[in-house]
Amino acid sequence: MARVSIKHIAEKLGVSNATVSLVLNGKAKNGRVSEELIEKIKRTAEEMNYLPNMAARSLRTGKSKTIGLIVADISNPFFAKLARYIENAAEAMNYQVMFGSSDESGKKFEKLVNVFIEKSVDGIIIAAPADSENIILQVDKYGIPIVLVDRAINSIPVSSVQIDNEGAAYALTNHLIGMGCKRIGFMSYNMRLSNIKGRFEGYKKALTDAGITFNPKLARSVRFERFDEEIRRELEELLNNDIDSIVFATNRVGLQSLLILKKMGKVEDLKFVSIDNPDEYKISGIPMTCIEQPIEEMSRRALEILCRKIIDPSYKIIENVTLQTSIL
C-alpha cells in the first residue's frame, strides 16, 4: 500500500496542502485554522493511517534546519549568484536551502510557498513577484519567518534587504547627463515591482534636477512572459524617439537589448548605463557604466535577519535594510 501523504489528506478534505501541514505539525494556533477543521484533519489523518515524515517530526521537536529561497528567475545571473551566496552562508550556519523560481508568476509563487510549508522549512527568503502581498501576509500569519530580498513591499510589515534603488538609478542617469546626453531612454520590465519603481523614480528625478523634461515615451517596460519579443519592439520605439542613451533597470534587460541593438547596428550611436552584473557586459565587448548590487552582503544580511526570527519566535522587530551602492 502506498504511504499516505499530506496531499492525500488535503485532497480528501478539499483543503490546501499547507493547511493540513500546519495542523499536523502543530502550527495551526491562534485562530489560523478553525478548531473544527483542526479536529477534522487530525481525525482524517488517523483514519487514513498517516505517518508523519522526518521533517514534521523535527518541527515538533525543534527545527528542520532547512530554509526556503524563492527567486524571481534563476536563469538571471543576479539571482543565480544570490542563490549561491545564500546557500554558502546557510551551510556555514548548518542550514540546508530549498530553491524555487517563481518566473515572476503569482500562481507559481503560491505553489512554491505551499510546498515549502509542507516541507516544514524554518523560514523563507523571498524575491517577491508582483501582487504577492496577500500570500506573504498569510505565511506571516502562520508564524513562518520571512525576509524579502532585492524587493521590499512597503505596504506590509515584513523585513527586507535591498539596495537604494532610487539612488542607484539617479546616479546612473546623472552620469549620462554629465556626458552630454539629453534624450535618455529607460528600459525595464514589470514596473509594478518595487525595485523597478524605485529605479524609475531615480531616473525621473535626475532628469528633473538637471532641467530635462521627462518624456513618458522614453520610458519603456516589457513583460517577463514575452520578454524577447517585447524588448525588440520597445527598443524600436525608443530609437524612433531619437534617444542618445539608455538606462537599463536590470542586467537581463540590458544584455538582451544590447544583442538586438548590435544586430541593428545601433550600438555605437548610443551610450549605456545599467544596474547589475558588469562582468556580463564586459564579455559583450560594449562599453558600459554599471552599478553592481552587493549580492554577497545582501545574502548575508537576509540570512542573519531570518535566523534571528527562527531562533527566537518572539523576535518581532521589522528590519528594513537599504544598502548603498556606487558607480563602477
Task: Give the pLDDT of residue 181.
Answer: 97
- State the amino acid at position 165 in one-letter form: N
CATH number at residue 36: 1.10.260.40
Question: Long-range contact list for 261-270, CB < 8 A, 24+ apart?
Answer: 261/235, 262/286, 264/235, 264/239, 266/239, 270/243, 270/244, 270/245, 270/246
| The 245-248 sheet, strands edge to edge | 219-222, 184-189, 245-248, 271-275, 289-291
Name the packing angle between helices 17-24 and 35-47 (round to 10°). 90
State how far the Cα of 155 lies from the Cα of 175, in Å rounded to an integer. 32
**Contacts of residue 135, Cβ cutoff 8 Å, sequence gap at least 6:** 106, 109, 110, 113
User: How many domains are contained in the chain?
Assistant: 2
The answer to whether the Cα torsion of 206, 208, 213, 218 is positive or negative is positive
Which residues constitute the domain of residue 218? 165-291
Domain boundary among 16, 31, 62: 62
Non-local (6+) Cβ contacts of 288 within 8 A are: 254, 272, 273, 274, 278, 281, 282
Any idea what DSSP says for residue 218? G
pLDDT at 62: 57
Q: How far is CA 79 from CA 96, 103, 197, 288, 300, in A?
A: 18, 11, 19, 21, 14
Residue 283 lies in a domain: yes
Please count the CA atoms within 13 angstroms of the CA of 130 that sit on its side-chain side.
11
For residue 204, the domain's CATH number is: 3.40.50.2300
For 17, the grid coordinates are 496542502
Please name the amino acid found at residue 121. Answer: V
pLDDT of residue 58: 52
Q: How far apart are CA 179 and CA 288, in angstroms?
A: 13
Burial-class residue 195 by CB neighbours within 10 Å (0-12, 13-18, 19+).
buried
- pLDDT of 128 reads 94
pLDDT by residue for the chain (328 residues), tens digit each? 345 788 889 899 999 888 888 888 776 665 578 888 888 988 898 888 776 654 444 544 457 789 999 999 988 889 999 999 999 999 988 899 999 999 999 999 999 998 998 888 999 999 999 989 999 998 888 888 999 999 999 889 999 999 999 999 999 999 999 999 999 999 998 888 999 999 999 999 999 999 999 999 999 999 888 888 899 999 999 999 999 999 999 988 998 999 899 999 998 889 999 998 677 666 667 778 999 999 999 999 999 999 999 989 889 899 999 999 999 8
Residue 189 and residue 221 in contact, taking contact as beta carbons nearer than 8 Å: yes
- Whether 47 maps to a domain, the answer reads yes
Q: Is residue 197 part of a domain?
A: yes
Cα–Cα dist 125/70, whole Å: 6
Beta carbons within 10 angstroms of residue 19's beta carbon? 23
**Domain-terminating residue out of 30, 47, 62:** 62
Task: Please indicate, yes or no, if residue 141 is contained in any of the structural domains.
Answer: no
Residue 323 CB contacts under 8 Å (≥ 6 apart), including other chains: 161, 162, 163, 164, 293, 294, 297, 298, 301
Q: Is residue 42 included in any domain, yes or no?
A: yes
Is 149 part of any domain? no
pLDDT at 1: 38
Residue 268 CA to residue 262 CA, distance in Å, equals 9
Q: For residues 190 and 196, is the Cβ–Cβ distance under 8 A? A: yes
| Residue 133, in any domain of the structure | no
Per DSSP, the three-state class of 270 is coil
In a domain, 87, yes or no: no
